[in-house]
């Protein structure tokens, strides 16, 4: 059996902040690996370090100690512009607030990001159309975000994240602003995007999403306290079966 390739390999991550004279440690010796073909959930209470871990894993924040390899590239040692290159090539993002340009249509919101990555406009529009059609937005290509529902906006954001064919998609509470049914639809859609060359890591509070996940990682007080298969995770009490 061929081992799925490792998308993220983090070892010994520590992140401390200085708030005035007070030092706050947000991540404590975190190590983890994410592989292609995996939909993983990163769960934990507010302030547990989930978002900081996401930032460090994506190279947007430098850890105080430890290393991150993103798609084989040790990004913690890279200059910001080179880390940006690695993100450009390998990452897609989905956010709670969608972060779409309000003046652009759904098509342009996706196509402009591809154009920014160097794709010719016509090809970018073609790819964006395919990506939007793939997430069920083929009939809403020319609608602006203000003309779309929350679920539709998130679909556009997913299409934007997927259109560049990234190896890893990171989501920060992508269902938090959506109603239950729409939220589950969105995660189902993300589940469909996972394949042997792509993985998804979602930060969430919503334990119901575990039914779509392969793996659940729990973090508390900056430390990984549990990491296991999603089927062993109880969506009733939010803990792993022992």
Partner 1 sequence: MRRIAIRSLLFDRGKLIASLLGVALASTLGFVQVGLYRGFERSSSAVIDHVGGDLWAMPTGLEVIDYAQIVSVGPRNLLLSHPCVADVRAVLYGFALLQLASGQRSTALVVAVEPRAQWQIPWDVVVGDAADLDQPLRVSVDRTDLKKLELPQSAIGKNFEINSRQVTVAAMTEGIRSFTLSPYVFTSMTNARRLLGVGENEAMYYVIDLADKHCGPQLAAWMKRQPDIQLLESGVWSRKTEDYWVGGSGAGAALLFTAILGLFVGGVIVGQTLYSMTKEHLLELATLKALGARPWELARFVLWLVAFLAAAGVISGFSAALALKQVLLSAGLTVVVSPGTVGLSVLGTLLMCLMASITSLMTVYKVEAATVLR
Q: Which residues bind partner 1 (CB under 8 A)?
A: 51, 54-55, 58, 60-61, 81, 84-89, 91-93, 95, 97, 99-104, 108, 112-113, 116-117, 164, 172
Q: Which residues, at least 6 apart from 178, have a Cβ–Cβ distance to it below 8 Å?
A: 150, 151, 154, 186
Find out whether 213 and 199 touch, Cβ atoms under 8 Å. no
CB 88, min distance to partner 1, A: 2
C-beta of 132: minimal distance to partner 1 in Å? 17
What sign for the dihedral angle of Cα 27, 176, 9, 79? negative
**Of 17 and 196, which has the nearer Cβ to partner 1?**
17
Computed over its alpha carbons, how large is the radius of gyration of the chain?
18
Q: With the CA atoms of 60, 63, 66 and 70 taken in that order, what torsion angle do they form, in degrees rounded to the nearest 10? A: 0
Q: Minimum CB separation from partner 1 for residue 30, in Å?
A: 16
CA dist 191 and 54 (Å) reads: 19
Q: For partner 1, which is the closer residue by CB, 9 or 15? A: 15
For the beta sheet containing 91-95, the strands, ordered from the edge strand earlier in sequence to the opposite edge, are 91-95, 168-172, 199-204, 39-43, 215-220, 223-229
Residue ranges of alpha helices (H) inside the chain are 50-57, 80-90, 106-116, 121-134, 150-163, 180-193
In the complex, what is the shortest distance from the CB of residue 22 to partner 1, in angstroms, rounded to a whole number?
19
| Bridge partner residues of 42 (DSSP) | 203, 217
How near is the Cβ of 165 to partner 1 at its closest, in Å? 13
User: Which residue lies nearer to partner 1 by CB, 174 or 233?
Assistant: 174
Nearer to partner 1, 166 or 233 (CB): 166
Q: Pick the closer one to partner 1 by CB: 32 or 91.
A: 91
Cβ 199 to partner 1 shortest distance, Å? 17
Q: Which is nearer to partner 1, 93 or 212 (CB)?
A: 93
Between helices 150-163 and 106-116, what is the axis angle to 10°? 20
**In this structure, are strands 199-204 and 168-172 parallel, antiparallel, or unpaired?**
parallel
CB of 240 to partner 1, least distance (A): 26
Nearer to partner 1, 122 or 234 (CB): 122
| Pair of tokens at residue 67 | 């290393």
């Amino acid at each position: 059996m061929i081992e799925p390739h490792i998308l993220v390999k983090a070892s010994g991550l520590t992140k401390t902040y200085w708030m005035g004279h007070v030092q706050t440690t947000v991540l404590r010796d975190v190590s983890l690996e994410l592989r292609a073909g995996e939909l993983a959930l990163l769960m934990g209470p507010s302030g547990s370090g989930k978002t900081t871990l996401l930032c460090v894993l994506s190279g947007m924040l430098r850890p105080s100690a430890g290393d991150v390899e993103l798609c084989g590239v040790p990004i913690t040692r890279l200059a910001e512009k080179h880390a940006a290159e690695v993100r450009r090539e390998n990452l897609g993002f989905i956010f709670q607030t969608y972060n779409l340009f309000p003046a652009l249509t759904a098509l342009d919101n996706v196509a402009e990001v591809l154009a920014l990555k160097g794709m010719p406009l016509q090809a970018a529009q073609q790819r964006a159309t395919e990506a939007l059609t793939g997430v069920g937005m083929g009939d809403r290509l020319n609608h602006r975000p203000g003309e779309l529902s929350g679920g539709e906006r998130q679909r556009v954001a997913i299409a934007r994240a997927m259109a560049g064919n990234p190896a890893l998609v990171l989501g920060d509470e992508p269902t938090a602003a959506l109603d239950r049914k729409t939220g589950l639809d969105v995660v189902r859609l993300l589940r469909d995007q996972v394949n042997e060359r792509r993985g998804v890591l979602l930060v969430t509070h919503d334990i119901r999403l575990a039914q779509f996940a392969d793996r659940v990682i729990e973090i508390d007080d900056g430390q990984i306290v549990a990491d296991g298969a999603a089927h062993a995770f109880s969506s009733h009490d939010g803990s792993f079966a022992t």
